[in-house]
Structure 1
Amino acid sequence: MSDVTSTMTPVSRHSLFDDAQALVTGTLFVGIGLAMFRHAGLMTGGTVGLAFLAHYATGAAFGPLFFVINLPFYVLAWKRMGRRFTLKTIAAVTLLAWLSEVLPNWFRLQQVAPWFAAIGGGLLVGAGFIILFRHRASLGGLNVLVLWLQERFGWRAGVVQMAIDAAILLASWPWIDAPRLALSVLAAAAMNFALAVNHRPGRYMAF
């Protein structure tokens, strides 16, 4: 039997340029996807969903809300994921908060079918997350909190994450009608489909 390991490409560290372009590309994909969600009046989970909820409830700008909501989670990220991950996550969150405010000046949606916003926006957000994950960054603190709860109390991360996202979606009921809430669930499914199919352990090796 041939020696498979002799033909494997060594794992290498991402360069500063690699990480910088990934942060820009990943957050841009997410930003465009979220612009589609906002145009169609859809919701999502995680810290993005919390920012959407606060935006719909108060009318305040989404970008600053998203930035502020993530602040308490950076301490957990530093302890749980390390300095490199935390700094890149802060950069990605700050960039997305800024893009969310300036994109309407550069990219205006006149008409988007809600079902297409759900599927297309969900896939774009999922693709953006994949790019960020592969460069050891993220866009929210709830994932870090869920991992900490699993380690500290033994709570299953997947179940806790699903419960939190469901609670965020249900909390949006006063501002989102039933059809758009159902489309928001479809958007979450599209995003998770992109993640499940394209972000599997062993398919991409770099750090």
Structure 2
Amino acid sequence: MDNIFEQFNRRYNFVAKLSAAFFYSIAVAVALNFFWEPGHMYSSGVTGFAQILHSVSAKYLPVTWSTSVLYFLLNAPLFVLAWFKIGKKFTFFTVVAVVLGSVMMRVIHPLTVNMDPLLCAIFGGVINGIGTGFALKNGISTGGLDIIGIVIRMKTGTSYGKTNIIINLIIVACAGFIFGWTRALYTALNIFINGQVIDGVYTKHQKMQMMIITEHPNDIIDGVQKRMHRGITIIHDAEGAYGHAEKTILITIIDRADMYDIVKIIKECDEYSFVSVSEGEKVFGRFKEQEIV
């Protein structure tokens, strides 16, 4: 399934990114209007800050600012950060996602239902997490703390979901002061679920260790280094127990997003090779992060 997704994404990259932006805009609008607002809780990130400012303006100011307008205004300065630190194409699709999100927040109206706040926290976090993770998986962001989280990940290697949870502690505090600490608990649960779902869907940042046992090491090494620019450790004089043929063991670390490319190279060079893949908990040393474009 992952290979099919990667093939489609590479062939129809522009369409895939636009589709991801549209999917996210629907997801965030449904989460906001169907679950967060009726449940009196806040989202994570800039959407949550927009909700807070909406609540403050409705309570203390003569003019009430809508969450959708505030969502766009708060994102606008962060587009500049994305433009210079991440990439121009990335920023373009992020702007598209934010604009569509703002529009859908106004277009999609909630159903009049009374739902338990616990269910609102769960469903809101899951739906928005899927939408955000799918957008990130397609190389775009949903603005706001997505941009900050990606920049921090590029500098430190910290996963996006963990960064998201840490930054959003202030939103939990605001929910406590405005709606009461019971609602703050639901807000915290929503943010935690949202972060976990994002990390489950957005897996490109995950590091994988590949061990390749082959009789044609030079072809695989040349293919990987020319097309992927990944380092490889070579272990000579290995022997297969079944046929006692001489083998070479190649070990490399890749991003999960590199999986499609490296498997294709291995199959082209040695269709009888044996490959073992395991997830890397932490990577130290010289490792080139995949560029976001």
Coarse TM-score class (shorter-chain normalised): 0.7 to 0.9
Cα distance change of structure 1 residues 145 and 58 upon mapping to structure 2, 3 Å threshold:
same
| 2:42 corresponding residue in structure 1 | 43
Which is richer in helix?
1
Would you say the 8 A contact 1:31–1:96 is kept in 2?
yes
Displaced runs of 4 or more, over 4 A: 146-152, 154-161, 203-207
**Who wins on radius of gyration, i.e. which is larger?**
2
Would you say the 8 A contact 2:17–2:140 is kept in 1?
no
* Post-superposition offset of 1:175: 1.4
The one-letter amino acid of 2:41's match is L
Cα distance change of structure 1 residues 52 and 150 upon mapping to structure 2, 3 Å threshold:
same
Candidates 103, 111, 115, aligned match of 1:112: 115
Candidates 24, 27, 31, aligned match of 1:26: 24
Would you say the 8 A contact 1:44–1:169 is kept in 2?
no
Q: Distance in 2 between matches of 1:151 and 1:12?
A: 23
Cα distance change of structure 1 residues 156 and 130 upon mapping to structure 2, 3 Å threshold:
closer
Secondary structure of the residue that 1:44 maps to in structure 2? Answer: coil
Would you say the 8 A contact 1:44–1:187 is kept in 2?
yes
Cα distance change of structure 1 residues 205 and 191 upon mapping to structure 2, 3 Å threshold:
farther
Q: Which fold has the larger relative contact order, with Cα–Cα distance below 8 Å and residues 6 or more apart in sequence? A: 1
Would you say the 8 A contact 1:77–1:141 is kept in 2?
no
* Post-superposition offset of 1:142: 2.5
Query: Which has the higher mean CA deviation after the structures are superposed, 160-169 or 71-80?
Result: 160-169
* Post-superposition offset of 1:108: 2.0
Query: Which has the higher mean CA deviation after the structures are superposed, 158-167 or 169-178?
Result: 158-167
Cα distance change of structure 1 residues 168 and 205 upon mapping to structure 2, 3 Å threshold:
farther
Cα distance change of structure 1 residues 68 and 12 upon mapping to structure 2, 3 Å threshold:
same
What does residue range 164-203 of structure 1 map to in structure 2 within 5 Å?
A: 164-201=167-204, 202=256
Candidates 63, 70, 77, aligned match of 1:65: 70
Q: Distance in 2 between matches of 1:205 and 1:53?
A: 42
Which is richer in strand?
2
* Post-superposition offset of 1:188: 1.2
Please, what TM-score do these two structures have when normalized by structure 2? Answer: 0.60
Please, what TM-score do these two structures have when normalized by structure 1? Answer: 0.82
Q: Distance in 2 between matches of 1:139 and 1:148?
A: 14
Number of residue equivalences: 196
Q: Distance in 2 between matches of 1:85 and 1:179?
A: 38
Query: Which has the higher mean CA deviation after the structures are superposed, 61-70 or 108-117?
Result: 108-117
* Post-superposition offset of 1:47: 0.8
Structure 2 segments unaligned to the other structure (5+ residues):
1-5, 59-64, 205-255, 262-292
